[in-house]
Structure 1
Amino acid sequence: MMPGKDLLRIEGLNVVFPLMRGRLRAVNNASLRILPGKVTALVGESGSGKSVIGQTVMGLQSQVAEVSGKILFTDPAGDGSAVDILQLPRDGLKIRSIRGKRMSQIFQEPMTSFSPMHTIGDQITEVLKIHGLGSPASRRKDCIEILGLVGFRDPARMIDKYPFELSGGMRQRAMIAMALICRPALLIADEPTTALDVTIQAQIMKLLRDLQAELGMAVLLITHDLGVVANMADEVVVLYHGEVLESGPVRAIFDNPTHPYLKGLMGAIPHFDMAPGERLRPLREIKTLGGAALAMLPGAVRRPEVAKATGAQKPGAADDVLLSVRELTKTFAARKSGGWLQPAQFVAPAVDRVSFDVRRGECLGLVGESGSGKTTVSKMLMRAVSPDSGDVIYNDGSGPIDVIHAQGETSDYLRRRMQMIFQDPVSSLSPRMTVRNIVAEPLEIHKIADGPARTEAVQALLTAVGLDQSALQRYPHSFSGGQRQRIGIARALALQPELVVCDEPVSALDVSVQAQVLNLLKDLQRDMGLTYLFISHNLAVVNYMADRVAVMWAGRIVELAPVEVLMQAPVHPYTRALLAAVPFPDLGRPLDFETAALSSDVARESWAPAFRPAASGDDMGPADLGNGHFVLAQRNVDAAELRA
């Protein structure tokens, strides 16, 4: 290929989907280029047409899509002539020899992209088999080699694992291995780090950078995360409603954005330099009355006297502490690879003696990498999972209630006072129920109001979260991701809870919709006096939302402090590593990949001895550093030594 010649050039691309009510133009006269060996980032909100462009380049667009324009691919391993992908028969030999071999794609959700019925090795080697490359023995050898290249420690053993046996980060690595097994010239990465925690995200980013340099391939990076773009891209293309608004080198785009849309996109991102009380600026404000719309909801909760009669109460909770968690432990059992008939083998606890307090009216952030135990803690608080040991005490102001052992009316009362907002706004809403039925269901279960009063309550809840009354008779599939999450919030507020557990409520949303939902949650907390336990892997989001932050690692809380203290002066090495792994949308603050991409198990070897358990046993405990700042360390270490 001649120097400077485009690897891929898209000219005047149009993609139109015929619908019952008209025609949807998903891509409108879009033009862009991808240079050999370079990373081109395609940036925009959900629904802007990014993934449609990626699918069309691969020839994977819907059969009903009407496509026009040119997609010219010049294979560096070929004769130097350009091939128009759109002119090739959809399932012909030519496009099949390019797709998967010379152009590959990794998808956003690796769990749904893998077959759960076949091993990782079978699915990766299938690509070689389809393209007629190598013998079964050589294909297995190539698979082990590529698995080692993408970071598997024991690829010869992992090749026979099933997808569900791998963590999210490991599945994404296996997806990358599948895409790279044929050493393509172009890799299309569709949101490769979305919903991954910052440490795994940094590992995937470093992996893509290293593989790009080693294999000399070009990358089309589809993302809405401008922090990832700033640390990965050579060129940037900004897409809005299918149209290219701005494109150019990454430095020109970040240093001098000209289009108002790109400026708005940057303003919607939470960052660590925000002033106290500063609000996010979403691209489109949602009209909401917040908690003011819920002032007259029926069914005000009163604590039943049966709480005393059941004996489900324990003394000792402070008046300002709404929820007190003490020594909470949960261990799951695993079996040997020999099969289900093998006896269960206990592994390390998922949650190991976790203790913390949630104060009335505050937002306590709970952060940590995947597998640290955050969601398991939330499930135990909501009684979806039973702990092995420990206490959870809820104090509504008239006396403590034992959450774990509460029964009967006390249990019903707790369910009304403690609600949850889930991570995935799609799977958490029934596709067979209208919005009216979804939001009214808690009221129906707890026999609160009926007829017109219940309808009025549902209308007030939708108004509070910025949805109009036309939503009542619609189904979840007809709403965007941000709107579905607002429906989930309305359902959680239907019973007027005091404590809301937010489990990654914005991780599946793009930055502009994320800003809307975060501002809404802050408004509702202010207007309704809500208390939040906010679980997230996005430290910038936690910094915006939380009053205090608890950091979890390997099932234990390793540091707990007021948010401003934790973000500015972290003490525990793991907390420092988490902060170092956050990609900033600022070219002047590049990510240190060598440090950020270290796994926590590897990084632990460099921790100071004070933060590591002694070989003779676990003599770790929370050291008080003053002003509500605690860090997990050996009990005999002085606080001044920990700060050093």
Structure 2
Amino acid sequence: MNVNATRRPRDLLRIENLHVSFSLMGARITAVRGANLRVLPGKVTALVGESGSGKSVISQTAMGLQTTTARVSGKIFFDDPLSGEGPIDILPLPHDGRKIRSIRGGRMGMIFQEPMTSFSPLHTIGDQISETLRIHTGLTGAEMRERCEDMLSRVGFNNPKKVYDMYSFELSGGMRQRAMIAMALVCGPALLIADEPTTALDVTIQAQILKLLKDLQLQMDMAVLLVTHDLGVVANIADEVVVIYQGEIMEAGPVETIFRKPTHPYLKGLMAAIPHFGMQRGDRLKPLREIEVNQDSLLSKKYQARTGPETILSVRNLSKTFAIRKDNWQMPGRPKEKNRPAVDDVSFDIKRGECLGLVGESGCGKTTVSKILMRAIEPDAGSVLFDDGKGPIDVLKAKGAELQSLRTRMQMVFQDPLSSLSPRMTIGDILREPLDIHDHGDTAKRKMAIKALIRAIGLDEASLKRYPHSFSGGQRQRIGIARALALGPSLIICDEPVSALDVSVQAQILNLLKDLQKDLGLTYLFISHNLAVVDYMADRVAVMWAGRIVEIAPREIIMTAPVHPYTRALLDAVAFPDLDRPLNFETAGQTSAVSRANWARVFRDEDGGDGMAPADLGGGHFVLARRNADMRELAP
């Protein structure tokens, strides 16, 4: 257990020559190969790499959470300053032994990647946070509740007493992540392992979580092992960086050295794959591995010579309000809470052949708009007119053959490709299904069509016989794109298509979408919370807040000269992978509800006034402001 005590460095966590392999169908797959890294007391060490590189395997092994089928060798030393025992090798300890359990959850906390699946839906937030205290402390029930409420308050909940008694499904994604942080920190650990703590969170919530982690780390003098693929997060929070590829450490060092003087080709390639602001229209991302696509196999009369009116989709005054669930069982006579509309008087046009980006924080109504356009949700009011050259269709009133025709001309690519692909169907059946439903061609033509689709996204024909679980996340997303292309649509709605993908796979998918748009004449509504991605993809950008579009303009104007304070706040919250453009955590960490109080009066509608309406600033630039507002008041 002693490791060269005379020359042992003061590392809180030290991993030496770690090998981890798993048994798979009679063979062994090596996930980690000879990894060496350290975490210093009170510092943040970022473990960076693509999906499948072994990051999460290392973090789970450090906590003693590896599966029983894992074969592990090497050493993992944890030097707890409170134990007085010196460094302890975690690997030889029994998984469920008293020693490892006293460390895990007590002196080493962990934030898991997906907070929804990490919380039990059957127990309250308070019960699940208190469980950690019951295991590791001798506090009474009242003392545990007081400690939990104090921690919930420290992670940003305004009413911790109420949150203590709530269930996980009653909280938003950002709130669940805060509750997960509270559970990991309630025992005051020396080391926090954060596994992708900001993945799939919008930029404002991400900035809030990063500010929270940074503040708590300083307050508690805590070390953090940050597992991520987001180099923007790394640049803003890490002290040291470890780069891993296919289970091997490629490069490690201080954050200044890693970003300013990268040496390994993999790290340089990772940085080149990230979309960044200021890219020119013809610029392309450089993924680590290019995919060979074959759009020529899709080119046909239905894709070529797109003609018709300039505007393919016209949305006017769209509104949708959802009833608050607890109103259904509230006691008679008690006042009901005022419902807030999810979509509130939304209007926009999408021009033929363009990509309109729709951005905003979680809960602003972006996905609700997309579901209304696809007829998955009925709006309370508004109109949607679609015309791709074959005659106008009232989307919200279409029935029978007209609706069937509309389904072939508007398609959707979903955020989570795994849950949108049936696990019981082969890829061939998934791609054939739209053709079968709409009776396109005979059996032979459908077979040819699905082969063309699979080639178009860079997969071989043997993939048609496989099931979704046997593909990577990026490959599944490409299959989702192929399914959307099967019927030759004019408009594709992309709902967060790359939010959960690592940067290299993200670059592949974005390049593929741009190539398809150019070669097939497609039109996109691209919904995302990643402004750098939208900057790369979109021709025009609409910014949504609290159910309303607050600003819409050409991409160059939104990204360089925004007028609405919410748009400027969104841009300020972007975590750049650039040490010379750090986040201002004082402003970026504010919620929109707080920052709204500082908006100029012309952008607020809290006292009646003249109401709100889009003000035309010229050049296709509109901003939501008070009616009859003086244009001089709208200057940035």
Structure 1 residues 444 and 576: CA distance shift in structure 2, 3 A: same
In 2, Cα distance between the equivalents of 1:500 and 1:338?
37
- What's the CA shift for 1:267? 0.1
Q: Secondary structure at the match of 1:238?
A: strand
Match status 1:96 vs 2:101: yes
- What's the CA shift for 1:618? 6.0
**Which of residues 511, 535, 559 in structure 2 aligns to 1:519?**
511
Paired amino acid for 2:71:
E
Contact 2:320–2:380 (CA under 8 A) maintained in structure 1:
yes
Aligned twin of 1:149: 154
Alignment of 1:607-626 (within 5 A): 607-616=599-608, 619-626=611-618
Aligned twin of 2:45: 40
In 2, Cα distance between the equivalents of 1:21 and 1:455?
35
Match status 1:323 vs 2:327: no
Aligned twin of 1:588: 580
In 2, Cα distance between the equivalents of 1:593 and 1:375?
28
Aligned twin of 2:280: 275
Contact 1:300–1:496 (CA under 8 A) maintained in structure 2:
no
Contact 1:299–1:449 (CA under 8 A) maintained in structure 2:
no
Q: Secondary structure at the match of 2:371?
A: helix
Contact 2:109–2:189 (CA under 8 A) maintained in structure 1:
yes
Paired amino acid for 1:521:
L
Structure 1 residues 338 and 432: CA distance shift in structure 2, 3 A: closer
Structure 1 residues 456 and 60: CA distance shift in structure 2, 3 A: same
In 2, Cα distance between the equivalents of 1:336 and 1:228?
37
- What's the CA shift for 1:335? 3.8
In 1, Cα distance between the equivalents of 2:138 and 2:104?
14
Structure 1 residues 341 and 295: CA distance shift in structure 2, 3 A: farther
Aligned twin of 1:333: 323
Aligned twin of 2:539: 547
- What's the CA shift for 1:276? 2.4
Aligned twin of 1:404: 396
**Which of residues 434, 442, 445 in structure 1 aligns to 2:437?**
445
Contact 1:298–1:457 (CA under 8 A) maintained in structure 2:
no
Contact 2:302–2:488 (CA under 8 A) maintained in structure 1:
no
Contact 1:293–1:463 (CA under 8 A) maintained in structure 2:
yes
Paired amino acid for 1:359:
K
Q: Secondary structure at the match of 1:86?
A: coil
Aligned twin of 1:421: 413
- TM-score, structure 2 normalization: 0.96
Paired amino acid for 2:462:
S
Aligned twin of 2:226: 221
Paired amino acid for 1:586:
D
Paired amino acid for 1:261:
Y
Contact 2:492–2:523 (CA under 8 A) maintained in structure 1:
yes
In 1, Cα distance between the equivalents of 2:352 and 2:459?
28
- What's the CA shift for 1:22? 1.8
What do the CA deviations read for 1:513-557 (whole angstroms, capped 9, x no partner)? 000000000000011100000000000000000000000000000
- What's the CA shift for 1:450? 2.8
Paired amino acid for 1:592:
N
- What's the CA shift for 1:10? 0.1
In 2, Cα distance between the equivalents of 1:497 and 1:484?
20
Structure 1 residues 340 and 149: CA distance shift in structure 2, 3 A: same
**Which of residues 109, 120, 125 in structure 2 aligns to 1:120?**
125
- What's the CA shift for 1:641? 2.1
In 1, Cα distance between the equivalents of 2:606 and 2:210?
34
Aligned twin of 1:369: 361
Match status 1:206 vs 2:196: no
In 2, Cα distance between the equivalents of 1:300 and 1:443?
20
- What's the CA shift for 1:192? 0.2
Paired amino acid for 1:281:
K
Give % identity: 67
Aligned twin of 1:384: 376
Contact 1:623–1:633 (CA under 8 A) maintained in structure 2:
yes
In 2, Cα distance between the equivalents of 1:618 and 1:330?
23
Aligned twin of 1:352: 344
Aligned twin of 1:87: 92
**Which of residues 473, 488, 500 in structure 1 aligns to 2:480?**
488
- What's the CA shift for 1:23? 1.2
**Which of residues 230, 251, 255 in structure 1 aligns to 2:256?**
251
4+ runs deviating over 4 angstroms: 1-4, 296-303, 340-346
- What's the CA shift for 1:186? 0.4
Match status 1:197 vs 2:197: no
In 1, Cα distance between the equivalents of 2:586 and 2:349?
36
Contact 1:332–1:346 (CA under 8 A) maintained in structure 2:
no
- What's the CA shift for 1:640? 2.6
In 2, Cα distance between the equivalents of 1:112 and 1:90?
22
- What's the CA shift for 1:297? 8.6
Contact 1:298–1:448 (CA under 8 A) maintained in structure 2:
no
After alignment, is 396-405 or 206-215 more displaced?
396-405
Paired amino acid for 1:465:
I
In 2, Cα distance between the equivalents of 1:458 and 1:533?
25
Contact 2:304–2:520 (CA under 8 A) maintained in structure 1:
no
In 2, Cα distance between the equivalents of 1:407 and 1:346?
34
Paired amino acid for 2:210:
M
Q: Secondary structure at the match of 1:87?
A: coil
Structure 1 residues 21 and 594: CA distance shift in structure 2, 3 A: same
Aligned twin of 2:66: 61
Contact 1:333–1:345 (CA under 8 A) maintained in structure 2:
no
Structure 1 residues 116 and 563: CA distance shift in structure 2, 3 A: same
Contact 2:49–2:229 (CA under 8 A) maintained in structure 1:
yes
Contact 1:368–1:536 (CA under 8 A) maintained in structure 2:
yes
**Which of residues 494, 497, 503 in structure 2 aligns to 1:502?**
494
- What's the CA shift for 1:21? 5.0
- What's the CA shift for 1:296? 4.3
In 1, Cα distance between the equivalents of 2:306 and 2:285?
36
Gaps of 5+ in 2: 1-5
Aligned twin of 2:3: none
Contact 1:435–1:473 (CA under 8 A) maintained in structure 2:
yes
In 2, Cα distance between the equivalents of 1:91 and 1:592?
43
Aligned twin of 1:529: 521
What do the CA deviations read for 1:320-372 (whole angstroms, capped 9, x no partner)? 11000000000000144794676975511000000000111000000000000
Aligned twin of 2:592: 600
In 1, Cα distance between the equivalents of 2:314 and 2:516?
23
Paired amino acid for 1:293:
S
Contact 2:306–2:521 (CA under 8 A) maintained in structure 1:
no
**Which of residues 163, 170, 174 in structure 1 aligns to 2:168?**
163
**Which of residues 271, 293, 298 in structure 1 aligns to 2:297?**
293
- What's the CA shift for 1:470? 1.3
Structure 1 residues 482 and 333: CA distance shift in structure 2, 3 A: same
In 1, Cα distance between the equivalents of 2:49 and 2:8?
30
Q: Secondary structure at the match of 1:375?
A: helix
Aligned twin of 1:9: 14
In 1, Cα distance between the equivalents of 2:173 and 2:460?
37
Contact 2:290–2:508 (CA under 8 A) maintained in structure 1:
yes
Contact 1:336–1:345 (CA under 8 A) maintained in structure 2:
no
